[in-house]
Amino acid sequence: MSQNTLYDKVWEKHKVTELPNGQDQLFIGLHLIHEVTSPQAFAMLEERGIDVAFPERNYATTDHIAPTEAEKRNRPLTDDEAENMLSALERNVTDNGITFFGFESGQQGITHVVAPELGLSQPGMTVACGDSHTATHGAFGSIGVGVGTSQIRDILATGCIAADKQKVRRINVEGSLGEGVYAKDIILKIIQELGVDGGVGHVYEYGGPAIEELDMEGRLAVCNMSIEGGARAGYINPDETTYEYLKGREYVSEGDEFEQRKEYWESIKSDEDAEYDDVVTINIDDVDPLVTWGINPGQVIEVSEPIPAPDSFEARSDQEAAERALEHMDLEPGDSMLGYDVDVTFLGTCTNGRVSDFEVAAEILENNTIADDVRALAVPGSETVRTECEARGIDETFIEAGFQWRRAGCSMCLAMNDDSLEGDEVCASSSNRNFIGRQGSKEGRTVLMSPAMVAAAAVEGEVTDARRFFDDDVQTVSATDVEEVAD
Amino acid sequence: MADEAHITEVGGTGVPIPGDDVDTDQILPARFMKEVTFDNMADYLFYDARRDENGEFNDHPLNRFEGASIAVVNQNFGCGSSREHAPQAMMRWGVDGVVGESFAEIFRDNCKSLGIPALTASHEDVTALQEWIEANPDGDIEIDVEEETATYDDTVIHGNIDDAMKEALVDGIWDTTQLMYSNLSKVEETAADLPYVEEV
Ligand code: SF4
């Protein structure tokens, strides 16, 4: 059993009691609500005549069904079902006194983008949301868990979930990121090495020099995809980077109170001699930009590496998954992903929909235009991100390059709004899931990559190595000379 | 929500749903989540996999084994999104229990909340059971929660049910809301001790 890790300490502080079924009753310090998974929970509460226990610990916004075209945001929404969901949420938050970041607030967006940027997510908290990417908030040194609708009901009614404590795996990321390689590549690398179910039964504590070097937005991207590695949560111990980021944000206290909070934040860090259930080391030196070639986020290679043959995998399940992937993606083992034709490029989501993601993509799009026939979507993770990008003129770069510049939402990450793949379109995507059907078409194909790689793919109309765009001498590009650069 | 709280045995005919890493986007595609109740979810269960290009039912097991109560699945079933819509859809379609090689954790938790026992067993046992169902579509399978077994024909699979799930189902305390609600004053004490929770 782990001891004196952040996970142990935060768990202890939030543990109310042990339940007769052997689970712990755990207090949830921050509960984030969105329109898709909450209406059923509010209805269950109403059925039982129970009030929301801690309305001030709950915050709501709308993201999954939010239309991202400005003119489609007028109410009532043209999609009746989306309108129903949104008005149900509005009714539920009003009836229960819960703060809601709606379209009018200027702060609407994806829960996992909104809560960090407003300073709602803080170190030493427990965070829950009816969404599996709640691990994102672990970037601040909190325990973030995704929950189902019955657990949302539990949280609304009691402020708690019934939970089993997990094992803690420390992942040391050694080395430092090369140019054109980002936080997204770190987490893809981790999932490649440990597998999509490698984290089952665990939470991941990320640390080591490559993690410490990351800014908060990079850390958020890493923790975001913990669930793709099978881990229930993922976190990073807070440090000066964390505190600097928090300072001055809307929901963060100031002055003396800030200093007092900081004492708490420091106290919940993993001790130097903390004990972990296991420790894994991964080196990120010399790692090239990564892309997925398959239909789960563990099917990852460096962009110029050959696609593996199914029989190169040991486990039967991995072999079968590789076969299915090659068939779905229409790929041959031995080829690389360079030159794989792309129809759609999608930049956004709770993984990579923050200001720095648009910034790095804009560097590549500057003085470039996207390839003919490519449909390119830039969807800020929140309205706050959008306004900030616009204040810096980043939107102009996107629009001039041929991108559609949208309003905030989950958009084509899971296609619950109008943004969707059609037929067997290929999408270069900064999102976190390449499951079959995820982006709205069951024949659709998703290639996961970093924002820089998405921008580069938009310009080339195919998967390419984004690093060539940082080299001013190279103006024309083909898959072959990219291979040379990558070599 | 079942009020018959104690769940010690579930049984009926089986349906094999083969494949590893079957994610919740396949079990219940997101575009069918735009409803504010779970009422119609059974209609959307494995929506894409169950239909051909013309939208007609194909030979997916769920079409061939209508009326089954026990789903038999492989590794890491229910991975991906936390949507409770997935087990809700399975439950509403008729699934009362699941036997599999392994389950994604959120999926298993959601099953627990719904009172659906999830038994894990070895690859050999699971595939043998899947083959048996193909040959015996009318054959009965029984999951015994306390014994952590699945029985069919004259075969007994000795599997494993997560402790918390077992306790919850057998003792009828899987309605965690009720359970935790009775501790509300303790919750307030825990909250008051946290430096970031303002006095209410
Ligand atoms: S952006 Fe995608 S992964 Fe993130 S919350 Fe929205 S749908 Fe889920």
DSSP conformation letters of chain B = --S-----EEEE-EEEE--SS-BHHHHS-GGG--SSSSTTHHHHTTTTTTB-TTS-B-S-HHHHTTT--EEEE-TTBTBS---THHHHHHHHHT--EEEES-B-HHHHHHHHHHT--EEE--HHHHHHHHHHHHH-TT--EEEETTTTEEEETTEEEE-B--HHHHHHHHTT---HHHHHHTTHHHHHHHHHTSTTSPP-
pLDDT of the residue at B5: 75
CA distance linking residue B72 with residue B97, whole number of Å: 9
Residue at A284 is within a domain: no
pLDDT of the residue at A473: 46
Question: What is the A291 CA–ligand 1 centroid distance (Å)?
Answer: 19
- The residue out of A267, A302, A331 marking a domain boundary is A267
A281-324 pLDDT, tens per residue? 999 999 999 999 999 999 999 999 999 999 999 988 899 999 99
Task: Judge if A53 and A191 occupy the same domain.
Answer: yes
A55-75 pLDDT, tens per residue? 999 999 999 999 999 999 999
Task: Judge if A302 and A342 occupy the same domain.
Answer: yes
Task: Judge if A405 and A452 occupy the same domain.
Answer: yes
**pLDDT grade for A104, boundaries at 50, 70 and 90:** very high
**Based on C-alpha coordinates, what's the Rg of chain B?**
18
pLDDT of the residue at A21: 82
Residue at A278 is within a domain: no
pLDDT of the residue at A175: 97
Domain carrying residue A427:
290-486
- Cα of A220 vs its chain's centroid, Å: 7
Helix (H) or strand (E) holding A174: strand A167-174
Query: If you count DSSP H runs as helices and E runs as strands, how many of each does chain A have, helices first?
Result: 17, 19
pLDDT of the residue at B174: 75
CA distance linking residue A398 with residue A377, whole number of Å: 9
B87-139 pLDDT, tens per residue? 999 999 999 999 999 999 889 999 998 999 999 999 999 999 999 999 999 99
With beta carbons under 8 A apart, name residues in chain B contacting A122: 196
Q: CATH: 3.40.630.40, 3.40.640.10, 3.40.630.30, 3.20.19.10. Which one for B9-173?
A: 3.20.19.10
With beta carbons under 8 A apart, name residues in chain A contacting B123: 316
Contact yes or no for A36 and B33 at CB 8 A: yes
Closest CA to B195 of A311, A366, A29, A134: A29
Residue A390 has pLDDT above 50, yes or no: yes
DSSP, collapsed to helix, strand or coil, labels residue A17 as strand
Task: Judge if A186 and A219 occupy the same domain.
Answer: yes
- Which two tokens mark A303? 């962009």
A207-260 pLDDT, tens per residue? 999 999 999 999 999 999 999 999 999 999 999 999 999 999 999 999 999 999
pLDDT of the residue at A477: 45
- Which two tokens mark A323? 């076969």
CATH (domain of A162): 3.30.499.10
The strand pairing partners of B69, in sequence order, are none
Query: For the sheet containing B155-158, what is the strand order?
Result: B9-12, B141-144, B149-152, B155-158
- The residue out of A267, A299, A323 marking a domain boundary is A267
Which is it for the CA torsion A181, A187, A191, A194, positive or negative? Answer: positive
- Name the minimum distance, in Å, from the CA of B86 to any CA of chain A: 10
With beta carbons under 8 A apart, name residues in chain B contacting A256: none
Query: Would the CB of A349 count as within 6 Å of ligand 1?
Result: yes
Question: What is the A203 CA–ligand 1 centroid distance (Å)?
Answer: 20
Residue at A285 is within a domain: no
Interface of B with A in 72-111 (CB under 8 A): 74-76, 79-85, 87-88, 102, 104-106, 109-110
The DSSP secondary structure of A127-165, one letter per residue, reads EEESSGGGGGGGGGS-EEEE--HHHHHHHHHHSEEEEPP
On the question of a cis peptide bond just before residue B61, with omega within 30 degrees of 0, the verdict is no
Residue having the nearest C-alpha atom to atom 4 of ligand 1: A350
Count of CB atoms situated within 10 Å of the CB of A393: 9
**pLDDT grade for B4, boundaries at 50, 70 and 90:** low
DSSP, collapsed to helix, strand or coil, labels residue A403 as coil
CA distance linking residue A332 with residue A354, whole number of Å: 34
Closest atom of ligand 1 relative to the A349 alpha carbon: 1
**pLDDT grade for A487, boundaries at 50, 70 and 90:** very low
Residue at A28 is within a domain: yes
Task: Judge if A137 and A234 occupy the same domain.
Answer: yes
**pLDDT grade for B162, boundaries at 50, 70 and 90:** very high
For chain A, what is the mean pLDDT?
95
pLDDT of the residue at B199: 60
Task: Judge if A130 and A257 occupy the same domain.
Answer: yes
Task: Judge if A22 and A108 occupy the same domain.
Answer: yes
Question: What is the A414 CA–ligand 1 centroid distance (Å)?
Answer: 7
Question: What is the A245 CA–ligand 1 centroid distance (Å)?
Answer: 23
CA distance linking residue A249 with residue A239, whole number of Å: 17
Closest CA to A386 of A408, A418, A409: A408
**CA-to-CA separations, B82 to A134, B21, B28, in angstroms, rounded:** 10, 14, 11
Count Cβ neighbours within 10 Å for each residue of B172-194 and write b for 16 or more, e otherwise: bbbbbbebbbebeeebbebbeeb
Contact yes or no for A438 and B181 at CB 8 A: no
Residue A100 has pLDDT above 90, yes or no: yes
- Which two tokens mark B78? 């229910």
Residue at A85 is within a domain: yes
pLDDT of the residue at A440: 94
A457-482 pLDDT, tens per residue? 999 999 999 999 986 544 444 445 45
What's the predicted TM-score (pTM) here? 0.92
Residue at A13 is within a domain: yes
Contact yes or no for B76 and A196 at CB 8 A: yes
Closest atom of ligand 1 relative to the A433 alpha carbon: 3
Residue labelled with tokens 């990351």: A214
Helix (H) or strand (E) holding A216: helix A216-224
Task: Write the ipTM.
Answer: 0.91
Residue at A83 is within a domain: yes
The strand pairing partners of A174, in sequence order, are A283
Domain count, chain A: 2
CA distance linking residue A22 with residue A43, whole number of Å: 28
- Which two tokens mark B104? 């994604």
